[in-house]
Amino acid sequence: MIPLCVAAAGLLLVLLAYGLACADRLTTGQGVAWALIGALLCAGGLLLRIGFGGAGSAAGSWALGFAVLLLLCAGVAQACAISRLEERAKRLAQEVALLRCGCEAERARRPAPPEAGE
Partner 1 sequence: MAQSTLIIMPAYNEAARLGIVIGDLFRAAPGTPLLVVDDGSRDGTAEAARAAGAAVVAHPFNLGYGAALQTGYRYALRAGFARVIQMDADGQHDPGSLERIVAALDEGADLVLGSRFLDLTSYRPPLARRAGMGLFRTLAAILLRRRLSDVTTGYQGLSRRLVDFYDRRGIFPPDYPDANIIVRAVRAGFRLSEVPARMADNPAGGSIHVGLKPVAYVFKMVFALLVEAGRRLPAPEARG
Residues lying near partner 1 in the complex (CB under 8 A) are found at 22, 24, 71, 75-76, 78-80, 82, 87, 90, 93-94, 96-98, 100-101, 105
Phi-psi region of 69 (alpha: psi -120 to 50; beta: other; left: phi over 0): alpha
The nearer residue to partner 1, 61 or 84, going by C-beta atoms, is 84
Residue among 5 and 90 whose Cβ is closer to partner 1: 90
**Cβ 8 to partner 1 shortest distance, Å:** 22
Residues 78 and 29: beta-carbon distance below 8 Å: no
Nearest-angstrom CA–CA distance, 5 and 111: 75
The C-alpha angle 23, 36, 86, rounded to 5 degrees, equals 45
Helix (H, G, I), strand (E, B) or coil at 26: coil
> Shortest gap between Cβ of 40 and partner 1 (angstroms)?
20
Considering the complex, what minimum distance in angstroms separates the CB of residue 96 from partner 1?
6
- Judged by beta carbon, residue 5 or residue 96, the one nearer partner 1 is 96
The residue among 22 and 47 lying less far from partner 1, judged by its C-beta, is: 22
User: By C-alpha distance, which of 80, 75, 79 is closest to 23?
Assistant: 80
